[in-house]
Structure 1
Amino acid sequence: MRMIFIFIDGLGLGKEDKTVNPLYAAKAPNIHYILERFTVIPTDATLGVKGLPQSATGQTAIFTGENAPRILGRHLNGQPTETLKNIIYKNNLFMQLGKMGLRVTNSNVYSTEYLQKMVNPHDRRLRPSVTSVMTMVAGMGFRTVDDYRSGRGVYHDITGHMLIERGYDVERITPRQAAERLYSISRENDFTLYEHFMTDIIGHKMDMELAIKEIELLDEFLGELAGLVDLNEDIIFITSDHGNIEDISVKTHTYNKVPTIIMGNMHRGLGVKIESLMDITPAVTGIFKEIMNNG
């Protein structure tokens, strides 16, 4: 079994109201099919801590299984602090899967500037994201712009247009081509992570037109990927860290639960239990353990 894990930043389960929720204003047949056809678990992102859920603590909880906001004493946006990094250093999903003997990869492409700033101890303008810290501590290589050019990586915006806007001489690809790239990468690994955070950025803009375009792009990407993957053999696992884009009437994040979506048949009968973000890492490792133990 192979698993493709798609982390979508800032995607909650909102009202079926097309005046505020672009998931219902957009033409998104693939997303709605996924929501109706597969296991969708409303997942708590507040973790018993007052305040709106935020990215740094939410993502740390997702990828370590620890109650990061409770440890920190608050929800924290942006990138992880030293306290959160220490949690990730000690234990994270990449490390756990690696110890199980599984082949693990991060499919995201990183710009040259990001990689340079991330390892520069004197440049404090950029703090690496949770998934970047995970990738580093697990000893995994980062996919570069050269990997993007050769079709061996996907940029966080799906199409790569942001690389072009930043001056890189690269091809803009379609959402379908991005899905094909992700699928190809996943054939060489047991666990493949892809992170997409334009949903959160656009959600903060409170712009329905932009939000609809984003959802329709994501819909095409997910639809193509679902068609490529044999869901009798493999799993597509989707989750988020907090709500946002599902309610463009507010500029902030939301208290809405987030969807944890498990596409495929391999997890059925394994007793997967997910209630909050802290249950994601145990659920993923548990699925792999059960399948490995049962041959």
Structure 2
Amino acid sequence: MSGLVWLALDGVGHPSDAPPGSVWEEELPALRPLIDAGVALDTTLGVPGLPQSGTGQSCWLTGVDAVRLMGKNGMGEHFGPHPGPTLQRLLRQSSLPARLEAAGLRAALANHYVPQYLEAQARRPRMGCFPFSFTAAGLPLNPPAVPPLGATLGLGYREPWTPVQTLSEVAGVGRTLAKAAREHDLIVADLWFGDLLGHLGREAGPSPDVRTAAFGYLARVDALLSGLLDGGARVVIGSDHGNLEDLNTKSHTVARVPFAGAGVDLGAARNVVEAGQIIAGWFGLGSVENGQSRPPLPLT
């Protein structure tokens, strides 16, 4: 059986909560039917403010309400973009990569990290939740057995984000990832570029270049997914918070986020914490609260 490929979108709210004319209103023949067949998850977890990547991704990765670990007197706080000491402690001990490694299962992060990124992290570590979780579990970045995936999915990194790969080539990467998944239990793609583009939204509407790049990026997620499905991979799709679905603002949103998949049972998740617990359950792992993984150590 194929291992699982997790497309971890960043800053992509559910189409049900998107305004008219959003990036979801384009032809997405692989992605949109899967999203529509899935569920929309709450990201606020009852805490005021805009959801953030640090706490949101920690919820997905651990199945723990990371928002409630933050703030004073148990009131909770949305925190990000990078995990600070409290979230790092949680991820180091209870993230899915750490638990899979402890169980003797094989996990890998597909993202390609250029030498400049690795050098910058050596000088001043500020990893996002996904690379932090994998490295804290003793797993390498740029693993040799997994085809390298650029998070821009073939768009240029700088404005005007001119494509450097065709949609067909991105689909080919998906098929190659599907092949690699046969030798892994989990492969994760940390697709953070959507949030970067979402932050370029404006109240008066995005610039033509931003709009083209945003629509083009989601089309590339669709192409990647198409290749994965063609290759027979099992796939799960989620997101940490809203942003890209509303290009009339440069901030995050309180939109619900997608939880969708192919070849998996999504259960009855209502929020990102429960979705994280369901994903862990696919690997036979109980929830952290049930003692199947150590809770975070108290701050000293």
Give the AA of the match of 1:159.
G
**What TM-score does the superposition give when structure 2 sets the normalisation length?**
0.80
**2:34 is aligned with 1:31:** no
**2:218 is aligned with 1:215:** yes
From 187, 191, 197, the counterpart of 1:192: 187
From 110, 119, 127, the counterpart of 2:113: 110
What pairs with 1:218-229 in structure 2 (closer than 5 Å)?
Answer: 218-229=221-232
2:4 matched to which residue of 1? Answer: 3
Instruction: Determine the C-alpha separation between the residues in 2 that align with 1:48 and 1:252.
Output: 19
Deviations 1:182-208 (A, max 9, x none): 213212201111111111111121233
Aligned partners of 1:108 and 1:153 also within 8 Å: yes
Instruction: Determine the C-alpha separation between the residues in 1 that align with 2:43 and 2:58.
Output: 11
Contiguous gaps of at least 5 residues in structure 2? 72-76, 286-300
Aligned partners of 1:20 and 1:246 also within 8 Å: no
Instruction: Determine the C-alpha separation between the residues in 2 that align with 1:66 and 1:289.
Output: 17
Number of equivalent positions: 265
**2:254 is aligned with 1:259:** no
Q: Residue 152 of structure 1: CA displacement?
A: 2.5
Q: Residue 28 of structure 1: CA displacement?
A: 1.7
**2:254 is aligned with 1:248:** no
Deviations 1:52-81 (A, max 9, x none): 101111111111122222211211232111
Aligned partners of 1:52 and 1:253 also within 8 Å: yes
Instruction: Name the CA shift for 1:209/1:153 in 2 (closer, same or farther; >3 Å).
Output: closer
**2:272 is aligned with 1:277:** yes
After the TM superposition, list the runs of 4 or more consecutive aligned residues in structure 1 that deviate by more than 6 angstroms. Answer: none
Instruction: Name the CA shift for 1:151/1:284 in 2 (closer, same or farther; >3 Å).
Output: closer
What pairs with 1:148-187 in structure 2 (closer than 5 Å)?
Answer: 152-159=147-154, 161-162=156-157, 172=165, 174-187=169-182
Give the AA of the match of 2:12.
L
Q: Residue 105 of structure 1: CA displacement?
A: 1.0
Which range moves more in the overlay, 186-195 or 204-213?
204-213
Question: What is the DSSP-based 3-state SS (H/G/I as helix, E as strand, rest coil) of the residue aligned with 2:30?
Answer: helix
Instruction: Determine the C-alpha separation between the residues in 2 that align with 1:71 and 1:151.
Output: 34
Aligned partners of 1:10 and 1:253 also within 8 Å: yes
From 178, 196, 205, the counterpart of 2:200: 205
Q: Residue 15 of structure 1: CA displacement?
A: 4.4
Aligned partners of 2:34 and 2:261 also within 8 Å: no
Q: Residue 160 of structure 1: CA displacement?
A: 6.9
Q: Residue 224 of structure 1: CA displacement?
A: 2.0
Give the AA of the match of 1:235.
R
1:41 matched to which residue of 2? Answer: 39
Question: What is the DSSP-based 3-state SS (H/G/I as helix, E as strand, rest coil) of the residue aligned with 2:24?
Answer: helix
Give the AA of the match of 1:23.
W
**What TM-score does the superposition give when structure 1 sets the normalisation length?**
0.81
Instruction: Name the CA shift for 1:152/1:219 in 2 (closer, same or farther; >3 Å).
Output: closer
Instruction: Determine the C-alpha separation between the residues in 1 that align with 2:94 and 2:18.
Output: 40
Instruction: Determine the C-alpha separation between the residues in 1 that align with 2:284 and 2:278.
Output: 10
Contiguous gaps of at least 5 residues in structure 1? 166-170, 291-295
**2:128 is aligned with 1:129:** yes
